[in-house]
């Protein structure tokens, strides 16, 4: 490993692969890593009901203002598990590396994996490392699969949504996307609009602990943004959802940047933002629990669930007119996560 | 999707992503697919002990003589789980696609995923699809994570290996690698040396069912080849392993091609070949069980476990001289899986 960059032999499965794992990957992961990072991990579970999820991360650039692809990979998978109602517990970590990728950059990414996994109280139990020739991939892609345990006696799901339910959004809409797009396009907003990338298992855990019976379902607001999430929920539940433009948590600079880019924050991906459908009587208390959390300060009640009539999702503008929130069809915004 | 190729908007998370999943991916996976191919799958398990594994597949070319990256991804993960002693049950499927990748090729790959998953009796329960710009990846990479259930009351592991144990190899050494290298280099061996890529859960299941108490541990012979697997096993068990060159199952054409390429089949990756360490008294019967299997016809007893003295692994040549089987250090053979 003396050349300081990834070589093809780091992926050959022999001595150099073993050295990379033993001398760089395992030490960097430190306490959040258990097992041999090869082949299968054996897990003894205390429950019989688990959540399983997978995500590949291809973000460009891999390092951004307040995070990187490693943090993103952990948070994305942790949040997917958390919104299912499961407690995130185990991750796998699969790296596909470009020949010539700097080992120092790999170390930075793994430091972020360690920090995010520690924050989310998950263990990395199995891994894989592949190396492809220079030019065959752009630097580094990561896949994380995750296992969460259903430790609470709660059923969440779109089938539990009923007319009258309240829609809560836990954070600023679109900040992750605007941060990355601004970095890529050199717009200068990246200092003022940071990525929201964060593990939200703690926030979700507190909500379920204190008000779990009143939560119908939750969704991570990722690709496609709130507009897509709400359309999926409305279709799944057979209801209509009406939101109000003036209640949407949108940071001023995010709105400005989105305007410049010709995109709507309603369709932009977050990486640490959740949409919750909850019983109306508990909405104010749930909002308080969310706002106590470091990533929940901007949380808002944004709308209500109604009987299905007309379009699945509508938005009431600041002038009082109601328009349809269509499903996003195309936007050509690749590699935001 | 009328252009017939992957577009950036297939990865944006909105309508085109949903159409790709609903109209192409889900129908192609057919009966082996359950769940929504998005977010978390909820699994009800009958056991509390599971195996979890992950592998990314970056093979070049993605289509080869008797298989493709889809078959490889399923078999690789199924075999990882099977050798742990777990029954492979659930897979995740994460696709990273290059803009411009032909949908017809994606369909072919998914057909193979379906066929291999059906053969191995595993379900695809969660998925992810990302699209990157043209030139940022070479066509298609796949990650599969897998969950297996420990349904048998058996403990396999390198800690169970004792002096006197017998080493069995279940198939031709190196055939997968020689097939791919021959295709890539245009050597002309690819018609006569086929990939061994196959799901071996059935073979392993039969061995464990009939002779499970006599099996110490098993390893999938993948990157690094038998030489690397034996070194890892010998180090892990604190023993020495001696194998005999003339007993190694090496197809004639594979030996010829390896010679031309300047590589040793002892260090070449398979994708459907297992090394088993077993009690000597049961070795002949286990060999019979393996040979009954369609992928076990070439199985051989290749060596024995001895007390540690000198090198971890040695090989006795056809002239009777014993030499050290070093750990493979470098070979620059990227993208064989």
Interface predicted TM-score (ipTM) of this complex, two decimals: 0.96
**Is A52–B43 a contact, with Cβ atoms under 8 angstroms apart?**
yes
Residues in chain A with CB shorter than 8 Å from the CB of B330 are: 7, 9, 12, 14-16
Contact status of A101 with chain B (Cβ, < 8 Å): no
Using CB atoms and an 8 Å cut-off, which of residues 102-131 of chain A contact chain B? Answer: 125-128, 130-131
Residues in chain A with CB shorter than 8 Å from the CB of B335 are: 130, 132-133, 136
Rounded to a whole number of angstroms, the distance from the CA of A288 to the nearest CA of chain B is 27
pTM: 0.96
Residues in chain B with CB shorter than 8 Å from the CB of A35 are: none
Nearest to B51 among A9, A42, A52 (CB): A42
In chain B, where do the E strands start and end? Answer: 41-44, 49-57, 63-64, 67-68, 87-98, 123-132, 140-149, 166-169, 215-220, 239-244, 274-278, 300-307, 313-316, 322-324
**Is A17–B224 a contact, with Cβ atoms under 8 angstroms apart?**
yes
Contact status of B274 with chain A (Cβ, < 8 Å): no
**Is B43–A50 a contact, with Cβ atoms under 8 angstroms apart?**
yes
Give the per-residue pLDDT at B329. Answer: 80
Q: How many contacts (CB atoms, under 8 Å) link A and B? A: 263
In B135-262, where do the E strands start and end? Answer: 140-149, 166-169, 215-220, 239-244
CA dihedral over A120, A126, A131, A135, signed as positive or negative: negative
**Is A96–B125 a contact, with Cβ atoms under 8 angstroms apart?**
no
Contact status of A177 with chain B (Cβ, < 8 Å): no
Nearest to B48 among A45, A52, A126 (CB): A45
For each of the domains in chain B, give its residue range(s) and CATH number, in order of start. 8-149 (3.30.1330.10), 158-324 (3.90.650.10)
Rounded to a whole number of angstroms, the distance from the CA of B168 to the nearest CA of chain A is 20
Beta bridge partners of A41: B52
Q: Residues B122-154: pLDDT tens digits?
A: 999 999 999 999 999 999 999 999 999 999 999
Encode chain B (337 residues) as per-residue pLDDT tens digits. 468 999 999 998 888 999 999 999 999 999 999 876 557 999 999 999 999 999 999 999 999 999 999 999 999 999 999 999 999 999 999 999 999 999 999 999 999 999 999 999 999 999 999 999 999 999 999 999 999 999 999 989 999 999 999 999 999 999 999 999 999 999 999 999 999 999 999 999 999 999 999 999 999 999 999 999 999 999 999 999 999 999 999 999 999 999 999 999 999 999 999 999 999 999 999 999 999 999 999 999 999 999 999 999 999 999 999 999 998 887 778 999 9
d(C-alpha B200, C-alpha B81), whole Å: 10
**Is B40–A58 a contact, with Cβ atoms under 8 angstroms apart?**
no
Best A7, A9, A13, A60 member to test B by mutation, with max B CBs in 10 Å, is A13
CB contact at 8 A, B168 and B283: yes
Query: Helices B252-261 and B175-185, interaxial angle, to 10°?
Result: 50
- Residue A167, preceding peptide bond in cis (omega within 30° of 0): no
3-class SS string, A217-276:
EEEECCCCHHHHHHHHHHHHHCEEEEEEHHHCCCCHHHHHHHHHHCCCHHHCCCCCCEEE
d(C-alpha B55, C-alpha B144), whole Å: 6
Give the per-residue pLDDT at A71. Answer: 98
Using CB atoms and an 8 Å cut-off, which of residues 190-229 of chain B contact chain A? Answer: 219-220, 222-225, 228
Q: Residues B223-263: pLDDT tens digits?
A: 999 999 999 999 999 999 999 999 999 999 999 999 999 99
d(C-alpha B93, C-alpha B37), whole Å: 8
Using CB atoms and an 8 Å cut-off, which of residues 136-165 of chain B contact chain A? Answer: 136-138, 141, 143, 145, 147-148, 150
Chain A residue whose CA is closest to B219: A39
CA-based max dimension of chain A: 67
Nearest to A331 among B14, B54, B56 (CB): B14
Q: Take residue A2 and report the two structure tokens written for it.
A: 């003396």
**Is A41–B48 a contact, with Cβ atoms under 8 angstroms apart?**
no
Contact status of A59 with chain B (Cβ, < 8 Å): no
Chain B residue whose CA is closest to A223: B13
Best A7, A16, A54 member to test B by mutation, with max B CBs in 10 Å, is A54
Half-sphere exposure of A41 (CA within 13 A, CB side): 27
B223: Cα separation from own chain's centroid: 9
Extract the residue ranges of chain A whose pLDDT is less than 70.
1-2, 36-38
CB-count burial class (<10 Å; 0-12, 13-18, 19+) for B284: exposed
Residues in chain B with CB shorter than 8 Å from the CB of A43 are: 49-52
**Is A14–B125 a contact, with Cβ atoms under 8 angstroms apart?**
no
Chain B residue whose CA is closest to A92: B54
Residue B156: helix, strand or coil by DSSP?
Answer: coil
Contact status of A15 with chain B (Cβ, < 8 Å): yes
Residue B235, number of CB atoms within 10 A of its CB: 14
**Is B329–A9 a contact, with Cβ atoms under 8 angstroms apart?**
yes
- Residue B91, preceding peptide bond in cis (omega within 30° of 0): no
Residues in chain A with CB shorter than 8 Å from the CB of B130 are: 56-58, 335
B285: Cα separation from own chain's centroid: 24
Q: Residues A103-136: pLDDT tens digits?
A: 999 999 999 999 999 999 999 999 999 999 999 9
Contact status of A313 with chain B (Cβ, < 8 Å): no
Chain A residue whose CA is closest to B267: A14
Rounded to a whole number of angstroms, the distance from the CA of A166 to the nearest CA of chain B is 22
Residue A285, number of CB atoms within 10 A of its CB: 14
């Amino acid at each position: 490993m003396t050349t300081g960059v990834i070589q093809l032999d780091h992926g050959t499965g022999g001595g150099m692969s073993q050295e990379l794992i033993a001398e760089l990957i395992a030490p960097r992961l430190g306490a959040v890593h258990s097992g041999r990072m090869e082949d299968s991990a054996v897990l003894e579970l205390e429950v019989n009901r688990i959540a399983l999820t997978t995500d590949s991360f291809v973000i460009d650039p891999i390092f951004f203002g307040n995070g990187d692809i490693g943090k993103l990979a952990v948070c994305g998978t942790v949040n997917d598990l958390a919104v299912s109602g499961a407690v995130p517990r185990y991750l796998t970590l699969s790296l596909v590396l470009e020949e010539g990728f700097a080992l120092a950059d790999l170390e930075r990414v793994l430091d972020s994996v360690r920090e995010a996994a520690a924050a989310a109280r998950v263990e990395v139990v199995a891994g894989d490392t592949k190396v492809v020739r220079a030019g065959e991939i752009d630097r580094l892609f990561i896949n994380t699969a995750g296992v969460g345990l259903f430790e609470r006696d709660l059923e969440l799901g779109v089938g539990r949504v009923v007319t009258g339910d309240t829609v809560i959004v836990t954070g600023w809409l679109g900040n992750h996307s605007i941060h990355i797009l601004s970095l890529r396009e050199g717009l200068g907003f990246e200092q003022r609009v940071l990525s929201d990338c964060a593990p939200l298992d703690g926030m979700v855990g507190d909500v379920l602990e204190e008000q779990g019976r009143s939560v119908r379902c939750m969704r991570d607001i990722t690709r496609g943004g709130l507009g897509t999430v709400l359309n999926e929920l409305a279709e799944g539940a057979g209801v209509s959802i009406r939101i109000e433009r003036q209640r949407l948590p949108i940071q001023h600079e995010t709105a400005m940047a989105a305007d410049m880019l010709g995109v709507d924050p309603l369709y932009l991906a977050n990486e640490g933002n959740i949409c919750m459908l909850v019983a109306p009587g508990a909405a104010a208390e749930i909002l308080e629990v969310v706002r106590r959390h470091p990533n929940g300060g901007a949380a808002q009640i944004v709308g209500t669930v109604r009987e299905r009539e007309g379009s699945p999702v509508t938005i009431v503008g600041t002038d009082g007119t109601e328009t349809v929130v269509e499903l996003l069809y195309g936007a050509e915004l690749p590699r935001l996560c």
